[in-house]
Amino acid sequence: MATGSFAARLFGGRPASPTQTLLGRLERDLQVPRGTTTLAVLILSLARSDAIDATLELPESMLINTVLLERIGNTLRADDYLALATPDEIWIVLPALASATIAHLAATHIGRVLEAPLQAGTLTVTVNPCIGIAVTSVSQGTPLGLLHAASEARKRARSLSRLFFVATETEGLDLHSKDLINAVAGALAQNRLTIAYQPKVDMATQRVLSVEALIRWPADLTPVMSPMVVVEIAERFGMIEELTRHVLHTVLREYTTLLTATGLPRIWINLSAGMLADPDLPDFLQQGLDIWSTGAGVIGLEITESAVIADIEQSIEMMHALTGRGFELAIDDFGTGYSSLAYLRRFPISELKIDKIFVKHMSSSAPDTQLVRTIIDLAHNFKLKVIAEGVEDATTLDLLAQMGCDQIQGYVYAKPMPAAELVRWIASFHGELAGN
């Protein structure tokens, strides 16, 4: 059996080239995940106007390469890496992605920064980029398999005249994954996904102020899937818009009953990263409201922190477009991508939800307790309501109450439940308080 790293085997004893270094790192990242297990490889072909000079390696063209790599490098995160494979092709690796859609956002960024011509001395070069994207779960992909898939996707992008194409074909996926994709597509087509609602309890009044709507996989459908997996598959295989439409319509249909029975003013739904980047999102949501003759005030939109920080400026613009239509916004899973702390004051949001990973370990971990305290104080400075999710026990609940956390969502009060059950639960919760 061959020994040594994949890159070393591929390139023999020659000194490490940029692509060799990239392949070495990619191989390590595929073996030992850092953070999340989703990783993407992008192959960018440039179709540059100085293509012939570039192959001759003229000094001006070499200078252009530096400008190119710098421009693209500036759009990437600190952990991403890239290499110029040929004068016309750049390989980019995005490890530890919060979701596959972040790779689509990265491609959009790259396309944008390459719009302006590149300049070196008297030479002006334009490029007509197209990008192939291959996404994998870390334990499943191999460097060559990913490069091959990205390269095929790039050809597809070029033939369709699109900026990028994602290797969404089931190639490289095992049978089980194909089953999952078909199952999600089938459940969506037959309207089989249901919604469970989880109360958010206000600490000051001990009343349910709103609920979060979460999708649920029907009990009688196999293979059994968690909401996270359903959402991940919908995002990766182009079904997220359909899923969100289904959630919105179900929630709006059930809202009238819920409002009459409980007086609940608002239901929060989750938006995925890809939806936030879609300029048609406000109209998409408005269409749903129009069908049910409902105002935007009844719907709150939870946006994960990782989705927002993928493209801060574009996200802020979109968030303003959404609040302009009357939607309330919350940042979900806050604390995991703390780079956005500095931007918090610029987000037009009303609520901040602390990620349950910190809440979970609060009673046993001093640093986590401190972090939660800091987030609560910071949010209050910005006049935001803070919600702790994933609160499972009374000790954590007491700690959060002492820290001034505004609302609690967690098993300590209730698990997510169907609408009819929620009506009974709220009646009993509020009734108990009234001493009935």
Give the binding site for Mg ion (CB under 5 A).
270, 302, 332-333
Whole-angstrom Cα distance, residue 52 to residue 68? 17
Residue 27 contact among Mg ion, ligand C2E, none, beta carbon within 5 to 8 Å by kind: none
Told to check if 356 binds ligand C2E by CB under 6 A, we report yes
* Residue window 367-406: x/- pattern of binding to ligand C2E, with contact defined by CB under 6 A: ----------------------xxxx--------------
Told to check if 332 binds ligand C2E by CB under 6 A, we report yes
Told to check if 411 binds ligand C2E by CB under 6 A, we report yes
Nearer to Mg ion, 270 or 340 (CB): 270
Contact 274, 101 (CB under 8 A): yes
Sole binder of ligand C2E in the list 153, 231, 310, 400 (CB under 6 A)? 231
> From residue 124, how far is each of 67, 129, 209 by CA, in Å?
12, 16, 59
Query: To the nearest 5 percent, what fractions of the chain are helix, strand and coil?
Result: 50, 20, 30
Told to check if 351 binds ligand C2E by CB under 6 A, we report no
Nearer to ligand C2E, 131 or 211 (CB): 211
Q: Give 304's strand partners.
A: 332
Told to check if 301 binds ligand C2E by CB under 6 A, we report no
Contact range with ligand C2E by CB under 6 A, out of 7-15, 123-131, 140-148, 270-278: 270-278
Told to check if 416 binds ligand C2E by CB under 6 A, we report yes
Contacts of 115 (CB under 8 A, 6+ apart): none
Instruction: Kindly state the tokens that stand for 419.
Output: 């609408």
Residue ranges in 76-202 assigned as alpha helix (H) = 101-113, 143-159, 175-189
Contact 76, 92 (CB under 8 A): yes
Q: In the bound complex, what is the minimum distance in angstroms from residue 276's beta carbon to ligand C2E?
A: 10
Chain centroid to CA 297: 24
Contact range with ligand C2E by CB under 6 A, out of 16-24, 66-74, 269-277, 318-326: 269-277
Identify which of 339, 255, 260, 261 has the alpha carbon closest to the alpha carbon of residue 298: 255
- Please state, as a whole number, how many other Cβ atoms lie within 10 Å of the Cβ of residue 308: 25
Burial (CB < 10 A; 0-12, 13-18, 19+), residue 33, is middle
Q: In the bound complex, what is the minimum distance in angstroms from residue 38's beta carbon to ligand C2E?
A: 14
Sole binder of ligand C2E in the list 18, 33, 145, 227 (CB under 6 A)? 227
Identify which of 281, 328, 334, 278 has the alpha carbon closest to the alpha carbon of residue 306: 334
Whole-angstrom Cα distance, residue 49 to residue 219? 57
Told to check if 272 binds ligand C2E by CB under 6 A, we report yes
Nearer to ligand C2E, 93 or 354 (CB): 354
Told to check if 333 binds ligand C2E by CB under 6 A, we report yes
Where does this chain bind ligand C2E (CB under 6 A)?
A: 198, 214-215, 226-228, 231, 247, 270-272, 302, 332-333, 356, 389-392, 409-411, 416
